[in-house]
Every structure is written in C-alpha cells, then in structure tokens.
Amino acid sequence: SYGLPQPPSLSVSPGQTARITCSADALPKQYAYWYQQKPGQAPVLVIYKDSERPSGIPERFSGSSSGTTVTLTISGVQAEDEADYYCQSADSSGAWVFGGGTKLTVL
Amino acid sequence: QVQLVQSGAEVKKPGASVKVSCKVSGYTLTELSMHWVRQAPGKGLEWMGGFDPEDGETIYAQKFQGRVTMTEDTSTDTAYMELSSLRSEDTAVYYCATPSWRGYFADYWGQGTLVTVSS
C-alpha cells in the first residue's frame, strides 16, 4: 500500500487557475482519478484515467500526469468550484487509495 | 444510469455491529463492482473494500480485515456492508460506490449512511 500526498489547502481568486497535485511512487503503473466533494454531498468524479473528463463535467477541469505526479487543473475558477478535491488510485492488489484531500477556497 | 440508494442512519453502541444496504437500480448488481468508502466527520475518504473483477473476489482494506463483510443479494440487486466490533472511531458516513465500466474508481455513489457509535 502507499499514500497519495496532497496539499491540504489552496486558495485562489475567481478567474484564476487552481492546480492541485498528487504524488505516489506507484502512479506510473496505475491511473489516477479525481473527485470533487461539496459539504454534505457524495463525491463526484471529475477526472478519470489521469486526464479524461466525464460527460457533464465543465471543460475548465483538466488532468495531467508526469512521472509520479498527477495534477488537477481548474482553469478560470468559479465560486461554485469551492470544494474538497481528492485524488485516488489503486495498488497492485486492486485496493483503492485516496489522497488526504485538498480544500479549495475561492476568495 | 446507475442509481444507488442506501439505508438510513444508524446509532449503535460500542461493540455492536451495523449492516448498511445499497439498493441498485438502472443496472443489475452482477454488472457492477461495488465498493464501500467511509468518511469520518471532518476527515477524508477511506476505502474499506470492494469487488475486484480481475480475480472475481471481494478484497478488503487491511485496516478492516476480520471486522468487515461485504455481501450481495443478486435477487434484489442489493449490496450490504457489515462492520462489527464497533468503536467510536467508526462514526462516519458510509458510501457505496461503483464504476459503470471496469476500473479502479467510482462514477456512481450512494447518498451515504451516517453511522454513529456512542454509548
């Protein structure tokens, strides 16, 4: 098993770009996924397979990967993007692993 | 479109067990790989276990081995998660979650079930 370190918090002004990183030594072998969670709600998948965006997710959400780091980018942040964001992957046994979460604050 | 509807909130005493259900509609349970994730108050997401289609078995997070059992009733398309020997640290919202195609992720989530463990 391995951990997925994420920054605990990030603050950006509306219209700016937010970048949230997630690192793991096993990421080159497994895809990463990103979830958005607003208070009192279930998580919502916003990026799958490192960089794919599910239908219904705004184009301002994008994902990328480089070596052992994956990044969720929100371009032109809006007030409604204020939420907790979690990265997730899986180890070689199929066990899921979540990052600790990043609280995005829109100033 | 998959819909996952979970059972209602529970209050349990330390040492007791809890069984949370997750009713599937839109798909049959046999078409899905159900997982369970929990979230303690103010904390992050924690994977508990789920069905791995690669080997056809349910796998559990090491932390919960021996204390959690995940089962399915395909006749009613309902998945269950039972956690035993409850302690206060098990107070959390429990989610069922599943991918709509093969993969180690979830694009469908239940609404969550709050389990409170208190004497």
Token duo for residue A36: 């958005």
The answer on pLDDT for A3 being more than 90 is no
Q: Are A37 and A84 in contact (CB under 8 A)?
A: yes
| Chain B residues with CB-CB distance to A93 below 8 A | 52, 59
The answer on pLDDT for B14 being more than 80 is yes
Q: Tell me, yes or no, if B107 comes closer than 8 A to chain A by beta carbon.
A: yes
Report the pLDDT averaged over residues B109-114.
Answer: 98
Residue of B nearest to A45 (CA): B107
How confident is the model over A40-62, as pLDDT tens digits? Answer: 999 999 999 999 999 999 999 99
Residue located via tokens 């067990």:
B17
Q: Are A61 and A74 in contact (CB under 8 A)?
A: yes
Distance to chain A for B73, nearest Cα, Å: 23
Residue located via tokens 């839109």:
B26
Q: How far is CA B71 from CA A42, A65, A67, B66, in A?
A: 22, 36, 37, 14
Residue of B nearest to A30 (CA): B104
| Chain B residues with CB-CB distance to A101 below 8 A | 44-45
